[in-house]
Structure 1
Amino acid sequence: MTHYDVVINGGGMAGAMLALGLSQLSQADGSALRIALIEKSLPEQNLHPGFDARSIALASHSQDLLQQLGLWPLLRELATPITAIQVSDQGHIGQVNLQAQDYSVPALGYVVELNPVGQLLYQQLQQHPAIDLLCPAQIQAWQQAPDKVTVTLDGDDQLSDRQFTTSLLVAADGNHSQIGRQLNLPRRQFDYQQSAIIANVQTAMPHQNRAFERFTPEGPIALLPMSGGRCSLVWCVSNGRANQLMDLDETAFLCELQQAFGYRLGRITRTGTRHCYPLVLDEVTRPWHHRVVLVGNAAHLLHPIAGQGFNLGLRDVAALVEQVRQVLSSVGASSENPTNLATPISVANHDDIGGYQMLSRYWQSRQADQAELVGMTSALALLFSNDHPVLAAGRNLGLMTMAACSSLKHMLAWQAMGKR
């Protein structure tokens, strides 16, 4: 039976980047890790939910992580830099303006479109000799054992009923993760009673690489700079309001958007296809169990108010790659030192890929970051998505204070860049 060092279920951004990041690691004998990536559909079929019409914001720190993973050179040409951010509150004068030049960085972040990124990543996955891309396929069954996980596939004639083992099974299959649900791990869930309308829009004035986040009584509106002079719209509103907006024709929708966003970029002239997504918090409070770990949206689905959802998932990916690298380094050091041969790194002491010690270290490195970001986004979503006069006055005062106090403003900037 074929054995893989790591099997990744789900080939969205997190899963694809994890596979490519792990593929750069070598074992003690110099051989590459054996990696399998299981995915239902290819992005060029326009069916993959992880590579649809949406765009995502990459924090500046995420660009550093992508550089470490060897992926930034692939994505650089597809990334639109954010050189300025304006945060404002509808109906109030308080606002904060952040400039990349004030922090000696080329950009506060970047915007990438998921569909072209997905096609580029899959080209790399298909060409890499250490990665078996099993697609179209999905897991039919899986079973944990002390030293391995056995996986059975359900796919086309070639892949159907194929069975193999792995040292580590990674669930990167989104917030409806099949593996996560079957493990029945403890969760913390909250329905914000909101939906996000996603679309690409054209404005009369050029965006000049500026990003805007505007808080309204119904929820935040974000416009992020894209290639071709377009902007990526994320408009969070109540579920009922979202249904109304989705039913409008283009002219009426643009009129409503203009009224909510204002004229910072002049008239909003066009919109592409609109998509609507319900907004919930869905956090697995301990996202690992014997030789199985959840990453990305499978581990934590956040409100988009701070634009940090994918950035948190990317930090999961980088941390997991680092833990695998440490295990491989320990194995290499043990094999090179004869005095250590009596107690080699093995399943017996659980310090192997997917073993208890490795996954425990991984979670120790991620727990505080996940808890902090989940808490921050939840608090912001509740604070900035209502019209209570006391809270509205408080957040306006907060924005005015932040604009006037350089230390508070710097804290916001570093948070936006994902740097602490």
Structure 2
Amino acid sequence: MTHYDVVINGAGMAGAVLALGLADLRRPDGSPLAIAVIEAASPDFDAHPGFDARSIALAWHSRERLERLGLWPGMATLATPITGIQVSDRGHFGRVEMTATEYRVPALGYVVELAPVGQWLYRQMSGRPHLRLLCPARITDFTQHAGQVVLTLDDGSVCTTSLLVAADGNLSRVRQQLSLPGRRLDYGQSAVIANLESAEPHRGRAFERFTPGGPLALLPMSQGRSSLVWCAAPERARALMAMDDNAFLAALQQEFGYRLGRFTRAGQRHSYPLVLDELPRPWHHRVVLLGNAAHLLHPIAGQGFNLGLRDVAALVEHLAQALAGGQDLGSHEVLSAYGRERQPDQAGIVGLTTALALLFSSDHPALAAGRNLGLMAMAACPSFKSQLAWRAMGKR
């Protein structure tokens, strides 16, 4: 049986970034870690569910973390800077606008298109000599022992590892086998996503618009396009998915207005239900869960991957310290120290996104008036707005 120091199940964004971060670590004698990444999708990632037509928003501080991991220079060519953000509430006067110039940063964040990033990450992993990509492959069973985890793959092969990392999404097979206690909340909404073209250029602007049916976000993309995430009641989402392109763009225009002029084209639409699904304690004996396997969030404020990236960066740091100290990478001491450090941030972001999703998806007059006053107060008070801006940029 082959033994690996770390086995990562899932080569989506969280798993791939972790694998590349760990590939640069060395033991005190200079030897590298033996790392395996198990991925069910095809080797070229053309059909990988984590790298579809969607885009993600990277906060400014997420860029800094990717720089420390040595990954930002390659990803920067695939990212579109967010130079301004406008937050508004449909039918009300409250509005907050923020610009990168205001806070003396080159960008408030970046929009990364997942499909090309997936290809780039795959090439990076394929080029690391001590990182083995087992693809396509699946874990069919695993058993946790005192000193290791024994994994059985779908081709019948068996390997062992000191630490198993589950980065295999919200339907994580590892999480299902562990049966860890979690918390689930159905928001009663679905997201409709699509890439759009508009008559006016976005000029790097992102928009978060709150409507009675749910939040609607537009993120700037390459070639003047925008990435849409439209949250609505399930029946409304089904109706939007059933419309032809002209009817869909007309409905969007009515909700969003003409801040980008007239919408001229919509790409293929996708829809998925919105739920909160979190593990308050996303680690176990010799196992850590990352990304959507640990916490699936509402897309409001775009915090999901940024939280996962902070988890990845912290895990790399704790494993580097363990290597330097000659500790067992999967030991209770190492994993519990990592878990204790990350729990406050994880709980805080889960609470924040849940509260925002519930507050800004209600058409109750009192809540609508309250959030509108809140936006007006932030617009009028630079210190309040500054707190919102730095929070959006990922500062902790």
Q: TM-score higher than 0.5 here? A: yes
Q: Is 1:369 aligned to residue 345 of structure 2?
A: yes
Alignment of 1:175-324 (within 5 A): 175-324=170-319
Alignment of 1:304-383 (within 5 A): 304-331=299-326, 351-383=327-359
Between the aligned partners of 2:244 and 2:46, the Cα distance in structure 1 is 24
What SS does the corresponding residue of 2:110 show, helix, strand or coil? strand
Q: Is 1:42 aligned to residue 42 of structure 2?
A: yes
**2:97 counterpart residue number:** 97
Runs of at least 5 residues in structure 1 that lack an aligned partner in the other structure: 155-159, 332-350
TM-score normalised by L of structure 1: 0.93
**Equivalent pairs, count:** 396
CA drift of 1:42 comes to 3.2
CA contact (8 A) 2:45 2:118 kept: no
CA drift of 1:45 comes to 5.0
Distance 1:417 1:43, change over 3 A: farther
Residues 323-356 of structure 1 deviation map (CA, whole Å, 9 limit, x = unaligned):
100001112xxxxxxxxxxxxxxxxxxx410100
CA drift of 1:140 comes to 1.3
What SS does the corresponding residue of 1:137 show, helix, strand or coil? coil
CA contact (8 A) 2:55 2:112 kept: yes
CA contact (8 A) 1:195 1:277 kept: yes
Alignment of 1:63-142 (within 5 A): 63-142=63-142
Between the aligned partners of 1:289 and 1:211, the Cα distance in structure 2 is 39
- Higher-Rg member (1/2): 1
Between the aligned partners of 1:193 and 1:48, the Cα distance in structure 2 is 27
CA contact (8 A) 1:37 1:133 kept: yes
Q: Is 1:167 aligned to residue 162 of structure 2?
A: yes
CA contact (8 A) 1:83 1:209 kept: yes
What SS does the corresponding residue of 1:220 show, helix, strand or coil? strand
Between the aligned partners of 2:43 and 2:243, the Cα distance in structure 1 is 29
The percent of aligned pairs where both chains have the same amino acid is: 66
CA contact (8 A) 1:37 1:131 kept: yes
Between the aligned partners of 2:174 and 2:306, the Cα distance in structure 1 is 22
What SS does the corresponding residue of 1:280 show, helix, strand or coil? strand
Between the aligned partners of 1:83 and 1:356, the Cα distance in structure 2 is 43
TM-align CA RMSD: 0.8
**1:337 counterpart residue number:** none
CA drift of 1:46 comes to 2.8
**1:342 counterpart residue number:** none
**2:376 counterpart residue number:** 400
Give, as a single letter, the amino acid of the residue that structure 2 aligns with 1:132.
Answer: R
TM-score normalised by L of structure 2: 0.99
CA drift of 1:44 comes to 3.8
CA drift of 1:50 comes to 0.4
Which structure 1 residue ranges, 4+ long, deviate > 6 Å from structure 2?
Answer: none
CA contact (8 A) 2:45 2:119 kept: no
Distance 1:166 1:184, change over 3 A: same
CA drift of 1:29 comes to 1.4
Between the aligned partners of 1:389 and 1:282, the Cα distance in structure 2 is 29
**1:52 counterpart residue number:** 52
What SS does the corresponding residue of 1:190 show, helix, strand or coil? strand
CA drift of 1:26 comes to 0.4
CA drift of 1:186 comes to 1.0
CA contact (8 A) 1:44 1:119 kept: yes
Residues 114-133 of structure 1 deviation map (CA, whole Å, 9 limit, x = unaligned):
00000000011111101000
Between the aligned partners of 1:193 and 1:116, the Cα distance in structure 2 is 32
Residues 239-296 of structure 1 deviation map (CA, whole Å, 9 limit, x = unaligned):
0100000000000000000000000000011000000011000001111111001001
Distance 1:43 1:209, change over 3 A: farther
Between the aligned partners of 1:46 and 1:268, the Cα distance in structure 2 is 29
Between the aligned partners of 1:389 and 1:45, the Cα distance in structure 2 is 47
What SS does the corresponding residue of 1:31 show, helix, strand or coil? coil
**1:9 counterpart residue number:** 9
Match of 1:389 among 359, 362, 365: 365
CA contact (8 A) 1:43 1:115 kept: no
